Structure formats: structure tokens, C-alpha cells
Structure 1
Amino acid sequence: MTVKPPPPPPSSSASPPLSHRQHRSLTSISHLHWAKILTSSSSSSATATKPCRIQATTNSSTSTTTTDITPRWNSDEALLNLLRQRKTEDAWIAYTQSPHLPNPTCLSRLICQLSYQNTPSALTRAQSVIRRLRHERQLHRLDANSLGLLAVAAAKLGDTLYANSILKSMLRSGYLPHVKAWSAVVSRLAASGDDGPKEAIKLFSQVTRTIRRFSEPTMVMDSRPDTAAYNAVLNACANLGWTEKFRQLFDEMPESKCEPDILTYNVMIKLCARTERKDLLVFVLERILEKDIALCMTTLQSLVASYIGFGDLDTAEKIVQAMREGRKDLCKILRDANSKEVPSENESEVFESLLPNMNYSNDYEPPLLRKVFSPNTRMYTTLMKGYMKAGRIKDTVRMLEAMRNQEDSSSHPDHVSYTTVVSALVNVGAMERARQVFTEMRSSGIQANRITYNILLKGYCQQLQLQNARETIKEMISAGIEPDAVSYNTLIDGCILIDDCAGALKFFNEMRERGIAPTKISYTTLMKAFSVSGQPKLAHDVFIEMEKDPRVKVDLVAWNMLIEAYSRCGMLDPAKDLVDKMRKKGVYPDVATYGSLASCIALARKPGEALLLWNEIKERCGLITTDEIKVTKSVSKVPVLKPDEGLLDTLADICVRAAFFKKALEIVAFMEELGIAPNKTKYTRIYVEMHSRMFTSKHASRARQDRRVERKRAAEAFKFWLGLPNSYYGSEWRLEGEGGGDDEYAI
């Protein structure tokens, strides 16, 4: 039995504001019903009620006169009739022309029908209603069904942040969404980038935690997690490589009366791949067969893809060949391949719980497949991608030819197969051959898709053939395929390669004019164009636009790109200010950030700043352990830094040029600890060119000479490290032409 929420009391405030984002289209789903979360002590005795519509509620404290009610009622009735006749366009016009806010029934149906239109403009209209209601503090006029449909649609369209915000607002407002709605959002979050998988796990936990508060199971029957919901959150754990959380949720499934299905074990294959446990793949397959779960081609394709991901093309080929021969002993084949592997001790206890069959005795007879599986187009294409990844271009092309000659039509190449070959040829710069395969693809009656065209665009841009790239995108549009953000990002990046900053901006504006929402890559790529051209203020303007865009999240890459723009021009103060702002927003500098600052310090010729930067890097690397730092680390989550060769070499270069030999020795010693070989030849040249006459002045005062003692000792130590003549060898360091003026670097 489903429960519809009663209307909130008139005195209650509006629901928490929902963040708005623009969407492109909406996929409809069946009507959903919702449970009202009862927070009072009488929740256990609450009885289910029939679904009902929420009546209109106003903020006015005075009663409405009869003369006001009649026209309002007539207007709402006219709007409702249009909605019942599915005249959504006319209903929208009536809504925009109405002098008052329609009743809850009209508003909810209008949002649902606008969403069902599956067009960007209709969805934008639906969200404008949401914004208006939020502004007027009337969100409680909408029923939960309309909000749920909007959340599902947003998730399917990739706008997971908006979908997540809707569900969280519903939970805060006391509504428990249907499992189809919240599991769809969890699924999309799990597959998205950035913090999507983590947010998926948080949302799953928040919903299930709320469900457990109910003592009456029938009240939350439609919201309880099903197997699909668990598969979605398990996928998030697999994407993050969180084995312990995966096991915890996997063990919870029986408690929720959910049984693992084939998708659950497909996700487990992904977990093994993410955690680099190639030795466990065969045990997952055996477990599926032991539990008598119907095997599918997706499972076998996932196994082939996993072995390819591990770089084990031999085993991947053995699987495909065994399928071609109609063999059922696939588990035995994989066990034989496993015999050469050294079992990993990485979280073995967790996997022993998930896969108890991994501890079976050596005389265990691996199970056979229930039926014969023949390789299909997808399987062959996966193997082709493995050849491409290994740089075996000839084998990739040969596989395409072999697929063409297959008698079974299910093994003939499709658009993915052709696109894989085009991509392989593009990667090696063989654009003419790639274009030939592209032409063959169309002559075979297989329509190229957006991905195929984007790969061609990438190839032309990498080969600096921007004119061919422009012609390709025109050809793409004339073929009825709309370019996407990836298409324009590729073109913008191509303009950067030929130093065409104006062209990059033109493509960016053209993308927005076509109604294509810029992505994070779009913004950062355009920032890179202005950075390379020495226009940091324009890069900053793009950054500000990115911050204002609710569809994207400003991440560390964007901050680093902006800092690099200022650093390229030697503008140290603005770059440092940006680093401070970045920290305040909870984004911590990484190696790229410090590398840009170090380059900026060298360009600005402010070696003293290099010492401050080196001290900060030492703190992040754990080379300094003061009480203050211990306290800071205990209350914060500052990630540990691992500097690379470029950063340390730049800092050492600055210190050597500035005669900070003690610090230079610290840096090169740290480089050697990390296994990085310092460039002694370069440092020797710098020392000879800049410091060969140090400490040679005969006219310095005694006090000045005393102040030089420590620096001279450091210089001698540095010369010793370089292998130059020094006091440690019992000889003095002199070059001809000595006796110049006072030491320029003396203190």
C-alpha cells in the first residue's frame, strides 16, 4: 500500500530551497507514490491513507473574498482542462499569463507534463516554476510525485547534483521517496565523476537510515531498497575501490530481503579490477555458477575487459578462443592462467567473505558453463580495444577484417567496431587511413555517430589540421548529428596548439549559441588558451563565469589553470592570493600548484619566496614535525604531498642561483631520497657562471667577513656535493681572473 503525504499545515514554512540547474530532456517513468515521514511519537500507530491531492495553501493571513475566488477558480479550471487534454503548450501560455499562482494540482501536473515533453525548453520551463515557487516560499504546493519525476529525469540526463538536491530536500521536508526514484539517482551518481560515487553512498545511507526509523514496515514498503538499489550503491563502492564498504553493503542485502543477481557479481568483477586483484576474477565466475545465477554475455565481456585492463591480452584471447570453440570449461582455463599469478594479500579477508570458494582445496573441480556462449560483436570489439591499447594497430585492423568475414551476422562489425579502428589509427597519426576506414564504414551502411566524428576531430587537431577539423564539424552537422561539448572542447584545444586564442574564444561562444552547456573541461581549456597567450585577466574572467555556472563544479584543475595563468606572467602576488582563496574553499594545493608558484618565483626573481615555499612543501611532506603542525594535521584532512622532479628541480635551481646553498643541499638530498637524480651538470654550470668569485674580495671589513663564514661553509659543502675543488679536499677553489670587486651575494 502506498502512502501520499497530507498537506503541510498553513503555518509551516515552505520546503527547503531546491538548487536549480538547466536540463536538456526528460525521460518519463510510471507514477510514483511517497511516504510522509512522521516525526511524532505517534508514527507507529499511523495508518495508511489513500493517495490524495494536496490542496492549495496561501501565505495570506486574511480571508479571500468571494469576488476574488471566482476568477481564480475559473482560471485554474481552464488550466486544468488544458492539462487533461495534454495541450501542454497552451497550458504553459495560460500559466505565464495567469495573474495568480495556480492551485497545487495544476502546478504539479504542469511540471510533470512539461517534463514528459523531452525537450530542453520544456524542462527549462518546468524548472522556472520551481524557481518561482521557491522565491515565493510556496514549494509545499507541489506534490511529491512531481518532484520525484523531476529528480529521476535529472539523474538520467546527467545533472546528478540537481537530482540529489531534490531528494535531499524531500527528505528534509519529511517525504520518503519511492525506491525507483532514489535508486535511479544513486545509480547516476555512482557512475559520475568528481565526488559522485561518494555522494551516491551518502544518499543511500541517508534514505536507508530514515527507513529504519519506521516500526511499521508497510509504511515504507515502496521506499525500501531493492536489489537494483543495492547494485547501484555497490557500483559506487567498486568505482571508489572501497572493499570494506562493499562487503558491508553486500552482507546487508539478505537483511533487506534482496538476493544478489548477475549484475551484483558483474559489479564485483569491477571491484576486483579496481583493487588490482586479477587472481580473483575466476572465483567470481565460479561463484556465479555455484549459486546457479543465469550467466550473461555482459559477464564474459566484463571478464575480457578486466584482463585487458590488467594488460593480460593472452588470457583475454584464450577466453574468446574458447568461446569460438564452444568450450564450457572456461573456469578451468582461467584457473590454469591463474597458476602463474602470485596471490595478493591486499584485503584478502574482505574477499574471503565475498568469495568463500577462493579457499577451496586443490582437488576442487571447477564448474562448467551451463551452455555454450559464442563471441559476439561486442566481445570482438573489446578485444580490438585491447590490441589498440597495446599499440598493436595491425591486429586491430585485422580483427575488423575478420569480423566482416564472419558467417554469423551477430559478429559483424558495428559502429563501435569501426570507431575503435578509427581511434587506433588516429592515435598513431594515420589520418588518411582513418578517413578511409570512416568512408568504408558509411559505405557499409553503418551510420557514424558523434563519438566517431569527435575522434576524427581530435586527430585533425592533434595534427594541426584545423581546416580539416572545421570541415569535419560542418559535415557532422549536415549529417544530422549535433556536436556536443566534447566536440567543441577538442576544437578549442586545437586552437591552443596553433596559438589561436581568438579562435578558441569563437568556438566557445559558438558552443553556447548552439545551446550546448560548457563543461569543466570547456572552461579550463579556454582558460588555458588565455594563459598560454599571456592574458591572465581574461583567464580570470572565464574562471568567474565558471563559478557562476551552477552546472559545473570548480575543482583543483580550474584553480591550477588560473594560478598558472598568473605565474606565466611572473605575477606572484595575485598567484599567492589565489592559493589563499583556494585553501579557504577547502581545496588544497598539489604538485601542479606548487610547480606554478615555483616557476613564478623564478620568473619574478624573488628567491626569498622560494624559501617560504620550500618550508611549506616540507610541512606537507612530513619533513617538519612541530607541535603546531601536529595539531593542524590532527584537525584537518590536508593530503600528503609527493613532489615531482620538476618542482624540486625548479626550487633547487632558484636556491643555487641565489647562493642559498644550505637550502639547495636540503632539496637535492630530498630528491635523492625520492629516487630522483639531481642534474649536477646544470648546477655545476650555474655555480661556475655565477658564484666562482664568491668570498674573494680582499677589501671586505672584518665584520663582513665574519658574517660570511656560515655561507662560505654551505658553499663549500655544495661544491663538495658537486665534486668541484673545495676546502673538504684540502684545496682552494680559484679560477683565473680572480680578484674582482666585492662579493655581490655577501650579507
Structure 2
Amino acid sequence: MNAIPPPLPLSPPPSSSSSSSPSNPFSLTRHALPFHWVSTPIFSILTTTTTKPIRFFSVLVTASHTNPTDLSLTTTTTTTTQQTTSQDQRLLTLLRQRKTEEAWLAYTQSSHLPTPTCLSRLVCQLSYQNTHLSLTRAQSIITRLRKERQLHRLDANSLGLLAVAATKAGHTLYATSIIKSMLRSGYLPHVKSWSAVVSRLAASGDDGPIEALKLFKSVTRRVQQFPDPELVSDSRPDTAAYNAALNACANLGETKRFLQLFDEMSQFGADPDVLTYNVMIKLCARADRKDLLVFVLERIIEKEIALCKTTLHSLVAAYVGFDDLETAEKMVQAMREGRRDLCKVLRDCNPKCPNQNEKEIFETLLPNSAKATDSEPPLLPKAYAPDSRIYTTLMKGYMKVGRVTDTVRMLEAMRHQDDNASHPDHVTYTTVVSAFVNSGSMDRARQVLAEMTRIGVPANRITYNILIKGYCQQLKIDKAKELLIEMAEDAGIEPDVVSYNILIDGCILIDDSAGAFAFFNEMRAKGIAPTKISYTTLMKAFAFSGQPKLANKVFDEMLNDPRVKVDLVAWNMLVEGYCRLGLVEEAKKIVLRMKENGFYPNVATYGSLADAIALARKPGEALLLWNEVKERCEVRKGENSDSSSPPPLKPDEGLLDTLADICVRAAFFKKALEIVACMEEHGIPPNKTKFTRIYVEMHSRMFTSKHASQARQDRRIERKRAAEAFKFWLGLPNSYYGSEWRLEPLDVDDQDSYSV
């Protein structure tokens, strides 16, 4: 086919020695991503020491003794060997001719497992094709080799290229497993291979950035174990690899780790480039250091790093993220005027009282920020005019705060720009569509879509998904379905998993769990793999419709899907399904199972349990739940170094108010006082009006019996004290600090029986 043939490893396994012949068309080129061995692979050692060599002749044949049976066996074995050699030779010839499709058919028809050279080259060429079918075929080879314990037949080059192909296809978990398997087996992949996986992990959600940093550390630690840098020169982290790791730190907001990696770059000869400082802009935004954004730009100019518009776009996006549209507008206007004193413009907009978060760290990263008052802002090397991307980012800021008119005006202004690079594109129009959808103007949003078709700016899948979501939010599911069909038939754009997730969520809004399940099945029937959001949204549909068992089945399927990683949100949705019906015991079993799988309940988990306890009217369970919540609240960060200990918990108003409500209704006034004290400690104002009403309605006649025995009255002493203390907290008269409080006048006997 047209696939570029992959290179062979620098130091291939012994079984692949034939690939180094002069006539080999797969020699290394400048396009190659070479991989090499850093040590003898573990599985190769095991194979060498445990597998007996193949004996083609069971009995030695001599001239003096001939056994007909032995001769027949020898002839059969020789014939089989010749057939095997012929099949391998034919497969190798097809691979050398780049006939990947025919080579794949030859592989599937082969009666034996081909040679390591053939297998490695076939995986390489399939990976280079970079299609869903070719990737599936390459994965099937890996699966077969693993099943037959023959994975050592593949060289590092083929595995690394497969990891890159899987990364491009979005199979990040699979690509990560390949790189980790290579490291465990003694391979050290090329930096372009493992850094591609780190980059994709860093940009993904959930714990992707954490996994990216772990993988980065695993590779660099292995590289540092070799005293000779030349031996592992192809695997040493470069600037792009560090940028990927720094991006993970920025996404996590880990400033200390960012500084550590930034300082470490010089050890590997990786110099920061403009992308490094673009990532630093993101870090400043995550650390709430708007005052430092301008100093990142100044640092780039001082170090004479080639500036690009991506940096300026990142700055505009950062100011928009801070909701500082005024500074973003001034920056764009200065660019429109062709001014080079952009740093001065941004300095003048800086807050008078800058934030001091992580001061020492940022002074190390940006030493120019410490001496800003003693220096003049530098000039840009040249003027940079804003392009459509920068204008569109400013439009998104308008859209974000609901300034629809300004969004439309910006679109009109872009249309009349002389520079073609500033004309609106599909992203610009999609932003306008989103602005109208957010304001509920679906008709005007559809008009923008029609205009895009008229002027030849094709709408993309994102444009249609935004419109579909708008109809779902307005509970117009039928129109959302019609638009989905129009999207596929008229625009030729097939819906993706996001499209179906939106529709499933829309069915939840109209309480149509059957419709949600139908969309889920339709999505899978089209070969679209569900995501974590797909599973959790469908679970939400069943949970909200009172079908927790179906939600449990969806959860089990999610657990068995290797493409999806179950998170706390999924566990909480499963818990909520049972809690909505007041099934406390079933919900507690799920929580116990959650803990066994390494997940600790959070505020949402406890909130669902509290609601279930209130619905089931089991105040005793509320006491147990409060004890666990109180214990988690008392944990301070850093006190428990044991990773198995539960993390600290910061309760919210909903959880504490529900627990306090249960305790007050059950006359557990001592616990109620503990809960309201916790609320006040966390800055949550308790609803005294509600608790006063509950006390008046339910407990105003407590301890008024005239016939209680002395023993019973003695047992009530502590409860009476707690009740009086709670009344005092409410501001009601009590026997400690004022006259007796009753809804009705008390007679003398009643007063005596109620006295402490």
C-alpha cells in the first residue's frame, strides 16, 4: 500500500539479525523512530533458559542403520519445515514490497506463527497505516502473541510505533500499557514514542495528568540509570517531552513539581522554547496569578525566543478566563493598532495589589517579575496583528458573560477585515451559535447555521452538537432527533459519542429512561464506543427513574469495558440510585464495595446517604454517618502520611443541614449541636428558623409527663440538658437562662415535672 515502511531497531534481538542485510529496504531513514534494547528483555531470558531447542530429527540417521518409521518422520518434518520457510519467505517478500493488505492475508492463512522479523514488520506497517482497521489488526497480533506467550518476538520499534498509532486513535490507556510493558520487559522506547503518550495523557481528563507524570518519571528514571548518555540518546527526554510533563503539572496546578521539572531540563540538554512558556501562562492562570501573565511574555522576549501568535492567543485566553475582558480588549486593540509596546499595555492593566500565591516559586520561574519596578517593559520584536483565533477567543469571553450583542458585532467586524487571516471561520460562527443557544434563541442559532451553509463555511460536528444540546435543554427532544438526522444525511457528518451523550442526557430531563437506553444501544450499534460520560449518564437515567438494578447492570458493564476507567462519579451515581428509594442497606453495601476498590466517599456520597436515611426515617443510621463524617472533617492535611488513610473532608451545607434536620426531628439534640457547630466552623450559617419550627411542632411538650418515675426522670437528665442547650442556641426561653418556654400556659404540676 502507501504506508511508509517502518525502520528496524538499532540493536534488534538475535532472531531478527537477518534484517540488517545490505539489501534490506527497511533501513533507517530520517523519518524513522528508532528504538533499541537497553538490556536483554526479560521474556527473552526466560525463553532462552526454559525452552528447549527445536529438533528437526528425532533419530540420527546413519548409513549402517535405517528404520522405515524414523525415515518417514524425518521426511514429514523436513516437508513441514520447508513449507514453513516458504510461507515466511513469501510474507517477508510482501512486506518488503509494501503490500500490507496481502501480507495480512498471508499472515491469517499461515499455518504457524511467522518469524520475529515478519511479525515486527507487519505490526510496524499496520501501525503506519493509521486506520481503525489496521490498528485493530495490529492489536489482534499483540493479543495472539500474549496468549501464546510469544510477545518477545516483537522488537521495540514495532511496539513503539503501535503505541504512537494507538495514541493518535485516542486509545490512550492501550498506548500507556504498551509503553509500560516495554519498560518492564527491558525495552527503552524512542522519546518520540513515549512522549506522545505522555502528551496525550497530560491533556486528558480525570487522572490523566497524574498518569502522565508517573510515566514520565518511569522513563527518565530508567534513562538516568545508564552512565553512558550515548547508549540511551534516542530515549532521553527532549524539550517536547518536558513540555508534555509541564503541561500535566499546569493542568494539576502543581507549581512545585513544575519548577522541579523546569530546573531539570538543563540536565538533559532540553532548552525551554516558546511552548514551554505558553504552558507557564496556563500555570499562572491555574495558580490565580493574573499579575504574572505579562512577565511570561517579557521573559520570552528577554531570552530572545521566537515569539508566535499562539503565545498572544494564550494570553488573551488567560485574561478571558479571569473574566478580565477589559484587559483582553485592550490587548487586542493594541495588536490591531500595530503597537509593539504590548508589555507596557498589560503592565498598566495589572492589579495594584498583586496576588502572592506561591511567590518564591514564581520568582524562580520568572526572575524578571521580582525587578519589574526597576526595568522598562521590553518591546515586541515586531508588531503582531490579531487573527481569527484571537478574535474568536475574545468573542468566547463575550459569550461567557452573556454579551450576545457584542458577540454578533465582533462577527460583523471580522467580516470586514482586510486581512484574510482575520476573517471568521467555522469556530467563529460556532461561537455565535453557542451564544444564541445559551440565550435560548434557537431560531437565531439555526439562522447562523443556514448562513454558514450559504457562504461556504461548513459547520462541523461541534456546531451541530451545540444545537442538539440547545434543543435538549428546552426539552425539545424531537427536534434534537431531527437535527441529528439532518446532520448525518444533509451535512454528511456522522454523530459521535458526544452527540449521543447529549441526547441521553436530554432524555433524563424529560424522565425518559427508555429513550436514553435506546440512544445508548443505537450508539453502540453504529460502532461508537461509549465513554465514561455515556455510562454514567445512562446510570443517571435509571437512578432518577427508580431503577437502581438497571443502573447496577450498566455499572458492571462499565467495569468490564477496558476502554473506560471507573471513577468516583460512577460509584456515586450507583449509590444515588439506591438512596433515591431510601434503600439504605443496599446503598451502604455499594459504599463498602467502593472502599474495597480504593475509592473514598466524598461529600456527594455522604449527601446521598443522608437523603436516603431521611427518606427511610432511620435516625440511628444518621448518628453512624455523622460519626464518620466528623472523623473525616477532623483529619488535617499532612497529618496522615499513610496512603490508605481516608483524605480530609470538607462538608457542604446540604450534607450538614440534612444530618442536623434528622437529629433535631429525632430529638438527638446533643448531636444536632455538634453538627451546627461544624456548620459554623466551616462558615455555613445554620437555618435557625427551620430548626425552631421543627422544635415547636415536634418537641414543645417534651418531658412534661406527670407520672414519670424517678428512675425514668433520672435517665432523662442528659437529654433534658441537651434539649435546653439546643433551645438556648435557638434563642428560645429555657429553664437555664430564662422562664420556662411553652406554647400554652403551664400549670404548677407541669412546671414541677419539667424542672431540672
Distance across 1 between alignment mates of 2:155 and 2:284: 43
TM-fit CA distance, 1:242: 1.7
Judge which range, 630-639 or 478-487, deviates more.
630-639
Post-superposition Cα deviations, 1:351-393, rounded to whole Å, max 9, x if no partner, equal: 2222121122634222111111111101100110111112211
Q: Which amino acid aligns with 1:351?
A: F
1:236 pairs, out of 221, 226, 248, with 248
Q: Which amino acid aligns with 2:359?
A: S
Contact 2:559–2:566 (CA under 8 A) maintained in structure 1: yes
Distance across 2 between alignment mates of 1:258 and 1:471: 53
Q: Which amino acid aligns with 1:348?
A: K
Q: Which amino acid aligns with 1:704?
A: R
| 1:646 partnered with 2:683 | no
1:80 pairs, out of 87, 92, 95, with 92
Distance across 1 between alignment mates of 2:299 and 2:245: 21
2:55 pairs, out of 60, 63, 67, with 63
Contact 2:38–2:232 (CA under 8 A) maintained in structure 1: no
Q: Which amino acid aligns with 2:548?
A: P
TM-fit CA distance, 1:61: 5.2
Aligned to 1:670: 678
Structure 2 residue matching 1:322: 3-state secondary structure: helix
Question: Which gives a bigger RCO, structure 1 or 2 (Cα 8 Å, sep 6+)?
Answer: 1
Q: How many residues align?
A: 705
Post-superposition Cα deviations, 1:160-188, rounded to whole Å, max 9, x if no partner, equal: 22111111111111111111111111111
Contact 1:591–1:642 (CA under 8 A) maintained in structure 2: yes
Q: Which amino acid aligns with 2:591?
A: V
Distance across 2 between alignment mates of 1:697 and 1:473: 69
Distance across 2 between alignment mates of 1:104 and 1:56: 15
Summarize the Cα distance change of 1:204–1:690 in structure 2 as closer, same or farther, 3 Å threshold: same
Aligned to 1:355: 366
Write the mapping of 1:571-586 to structure 2, written as runs, cut at 5 A: 571-586=583-598
Contact 1:279–1:341 (CA under 8 A) maintained in structure 2: no
Distance across 2 between alignment mates of 1:80 and 1:635: 52
2:553 pairs, out of 505, 524, 541, with 541
Write the mapping of 1:333-348 to structure 2, written as runs, cut at 5 A: 333-338=345-350, 340-348=351-359
Summarize the Cα distance change of 1:153–1:486 in structure 2 as closer, same or farther, 3 Å threshold: same
1:433 pairs, out of 444, 466, 478, with 444
Distance across 2 between alignment mates of 1:725 and 1:260: 70
Post-superposition Cα deviations, 1:539-563, rounded to whole Å, max 9, x if no partner, equal: 0000000000000110000000000
| 1:140 partnered with 2:152 | yes
Contact 1:352–1:358 (CA under 8 A) maintained in structure 2: yes
TM-fit CA distance, 1:89: 3.2
Write the mapping of 1:315-394 to structure 2, written as runs, cut at 5 A: 315-338=327-350, 340-360=351-371, 362-394=373-405
Distance across 2 between alignment mates of 1:383 and 1:630: 41
Summarize the Cα distance change of 1:603–1:292 in structure 2 as closer, same or farther, 3 Å threshold: same
Structure 2 residue matching 1:726: 3-state secondary structure: coil
Judge which range, 632-641 or 459-468, deviates more.
632-641
Summarize the Cα distance change of 1:737–1:104 in structure 2 as closer, same or farther, 3 Å threshold: farther
Structure 2 residue matching 1:728: 3-state secondary structure: coil
2:126 pairs, out of 114, 118, 123, with 114
Contact 1:323–1:374 (CA under 8 A) maintained in structure 2: yes
Aligned to 1:458: 469
Q: Which amino acid aligns with 1:31?
A: A
Summarize the Cα distance change of 1:633–1:246 in structure 2 as closer, same or farther, 3 Å threshold: closer
Q: Supply the RMSD in Å over aligned alpha carbons.
A: 2.6
TM-fit CA distance, 1:59: 5.0
Q: Percent identity?
A: 71
| 1:587 partnered with 2:599 | yes
TM-fit CA distance, 1:205: 1.8
Contact 2:461–2:493 (CA under 8 A) maintained in structure 1: yes
2:203 pairs, out of 172, 180, 191, with 191
Contact 2:115–2:153 (CA under 8 A) maintained in structure 1: yes
Summarize the Cα distance change of 1:738–1:129 in structure 2 as closer, same or farther, 3 Å threshold: farther
TM-fit CA distance, 1:697: 2.0
TM-fit CA distance, 1:417: 0.3
Which runs of 5 or more structure 1 residues have no equivalent in the other structure? Answer: 11-27, 41-54, 742-747
Distance across 2 between alignment mates of 1:298 and 1:363: 29
Post-superposition Cα deviations, 1:584-603, rounded to whole Å, max 9, x if no partner, equal: 22111100000001011111
Post-superposition Cα deviations, 1:723-743, rounded to whole Å, max 9, x if no partner, equal: 33321344333345999x9xx
TM-fit CA distance, 1:630: 11
Contact 2:576–2:608 (CA under 8 A) maintained in structure 1: yes
Question: What is the TM-score of this pair, normalised by structure 2?
Answer: 0.89
Distance across 1 between alignment mates of 2:702 and 2:638: 40
Distance across 1 between alignment mates of 2:415 and 2:49: 66
Summarize the Cα distance change of 1:635–1:331 in structure 2 as closer, same or farther, 3 Å threshold: closer
Contact 1:190–1:197 (CA under 8 A) maintained in structure 2: yes
1:306 pairs, out of 311, 318, 325, with 318
Q: Which amino acid aligns with 1:636?
A: S
- Structure with larger Rg: 2
2:13 pairs, out of 1, 7, 32, with 7
Contact 1:2–1:222 (CA under 8 A) maintained in structure 2: no
Question: What is the TM-score of this pair, normalised by structure 1?
Answer: 0.90
Contact 2:12–2:36 (CA under 8 A) maintained in structure 1: no
Post-superposition Cα deviations, 1:265-315, rounded to whole Å, max 9, x if no partner, equal: 111111111111111111111111111111111111111111111111111
TM-fit CA distance, 1:91: 2.9
Contact 1:91–1:110 (CA under 8 A) maintained in structure 2: yes
Write the mapping of 1:676-715 to structure 2, written as runs, cut at 5 A: 676-715=684-723
Distance across 2 between alignment mates of 1:327 and 1:61: 76
Contact 2:8–2:157 (CA under 8 A) maintained in structure 1: no
| 1:468 partnered with 2:476 | no
Q: Which amino acid aligns with 1:7?
A: P
Distance across 1 between alignment mates of 2:694 and 2:367: 63
Aligned to 1:38: 39
Distance across 2 between alignment mates of 1:380 and 1:635: 47
Structure 2 residue matching 1:554: 3-state secondary structure: coil
Contact 1:653–1:683 (CA under 8 A) maintained in structure 2: yes
TM-fit CA distance, 1:117: 3.2
TM-fit CA distance, 1:29: 11
Contact 2:132–2:169 (CA under 8 A) maintained in structure 1: no
Structure 1 residue matching 2:362: 3-state secondary structure: helix
Distance across 2 between alignment mates of 1:620 and 1:67: 73
Write the mapping of 1:238-317 to structure 2, written as runs, cut at 5 A: 238-317=250-329
Which runs of 5 or more structure 2 residues have no equivalent in the other structure? Answer: 1-6, 17-28, 42-46, 57-76, 751-756
Structure 2 residue matching 1:253: 3-state secondary structure: helix
Write the mapping of 1:90-109 to structure 2, written as runs, cut at 5 A: 90-109=102-121
| 1:716 partnered with 2:751 | no
| 1:417 partnered with 2:428 | yes
Summarize the Cα distance change of 1:546–1:313 in structure 2 as closer, same or farther, 3 Å threshold: same
TM-fit CA distance, 1:67: 2.7
Judge which range, 318-327 or 685-694, deviates more.
685-694
TM-fit CA distance, 1:2: 9.7
| 1:406 partnered with 2:398 | no
TM-fit CA distance, 1:116: 3.0
2:582 pairs, out of 570, 590, 593, with 570
Distance across 2 between alignment mates of 1:670 and 1:716: 19
Write the mapping of 1:604-619 to structure 2, written as runs, cut at 5 A: 604-619=616-631
Q: Which amino acid aligns with 1:144?
A: A
Post-superposition Cα deviations, 1:495-546, rounded to whole Å, max 9, x if no partner, equal: 0000111000000001111111111100000000000100000000000000
Aligned to 2:754: none
Distance across 2 between alignment mates of 1:401 and 1:555: 44
TM-fit CA distance, 1:62: 4.4
Summarize the Cα distance change of 1:711–1:175 in structure 2 as closer, same or farther, 3 Å threshold: same
TM-fit CA distance, 1:38: 3.0
